[in-house]
Amino acid sequence: MAQERQVVVVTGASAGVGRAVARAYAERGAAVALLARGETGLAAAARDVRARGGEALELPVDVADAEAVREAAERAERALGPVDVWVNGAFSSVFAPFRRIAPDEFERTTAVTYLGFVNGTRAALDLMVPRDRGVVVQVGSALAYRGIPLQSAYCGAKHAIQGFTESVRCELLHEGSRVRLTMVQLPAVNTPQFDWLRNRLPRHAQPVPPIYQPEVAARAVLHAADHPRRREYWLGASTVGTILADRVASGLLDRYLARTGYASQQDDRPNDPSREGNLWWPADGPDGEDHGAHGTFDDVAHARSPQWELNVRKGRVAAAAAGVAALALGARRR
């Protein structure tokens, strides 16, 4: 980078993966603009960034508001300098069968989870394209490829983000731009979303195992931002398996998920279906509490992904394999 420090914008920075990404960049000494609705969570995220050696700028914003996102981007540049990396990660949703999701709830989920990425990408490119440098990272999901029951609004948004990102990437390539757009498809992650999303199910929602800690996702996001020529990264063996299985046996997956998808997304704790959740208002607003990066599944969440470690080290692995093969061939000839 031309600057001595990175300037990074993170949407959804108050909790979950976004919070973990902000912390990880702070450990590099980056200046991090933190975008989210929840002021309590934002303030806590800013304290995290400063405690880890970074500079923090709190920007309360609803990413569904395109003009507000544009203004936040301009404020970030005025305060911190030219933005090097923009990470889109904000979302909201409803856990329920499709027919139990009201039209306004579906529209709101789409506005935040899909159009929030569109608005963030537009704001980032408006800053980056004129100077011909910068990286946008879309925090995606295996559900961008494979829809599952009880998450029709979220899956639809993630599918939309996938198509939108591919389209914009083609346009940047056509223009010969050096601005990079990449995506990280995540597995199930232990974030607070399962405690605060609107949930119409009889029991508490849970991610479909295996579950990974948000720091695993954050490391993948930073790696993607550092190596953005690759169009997409898949994190976790479950993500790889889901995407590949959907390509070759999508009909069988429909039937399998019809049988298992309801139970696998609920744990034994009872749920109050009338609870509002954070669809319209942040759970960590002025009178709320800071939820941090982790959800309530620490006891079963994995702190590392062997698949990812092999993925990012594949050059060294391939070199080592070639060396072993060469030694074996030499031994045979002797």
pLDDT tens digit string along 59-107?
999 999 999 999 999 999 999 999 999 999 999 999 999 999 999 999 9
Mapped onto helix, strand or coil, the DSSP state of residue 268 is strand
pTM of the entire structure? 0.92
- For the question of residue 256 being annotated catalytic, the response is no
- To 10 degrees, what angle do helices 115-128 and 66-80 make? 40
Q: Check whether 324 has a pLDDT greater than 70.
A: no
Q: Residue 77: in which H helix or E strand, if any?
A: helix 66-80
Q: How many CB atoms lie within 10 A of CB 329?
A: 10
Q: CA 242 to CA 210: how far, in whole Å?
A: 12
Work out whether the CA dihedral 166, 168, 174, 179 comes out positive or negative: negative
What are 102-155's pLDDT values in tens digits? 999 999 999 999 999 999 999 999 999 999 999 999 999 999 999 999 999 999
Q: Each residue of 170-185: b (16+ CB within 10 Å) or e?
A: eebeeeebebbbbbbb
Q: Is pLDDT above 70 for 18?
A: yes
Strand 232-234 and strand 180-186: the pairing is parallel
Catalytic residue among 145, 154, 212, 233: 154
Of the pLDDT bands very low, low, confident and very high (cuts 50, 70, 90), residue 204 is: very high
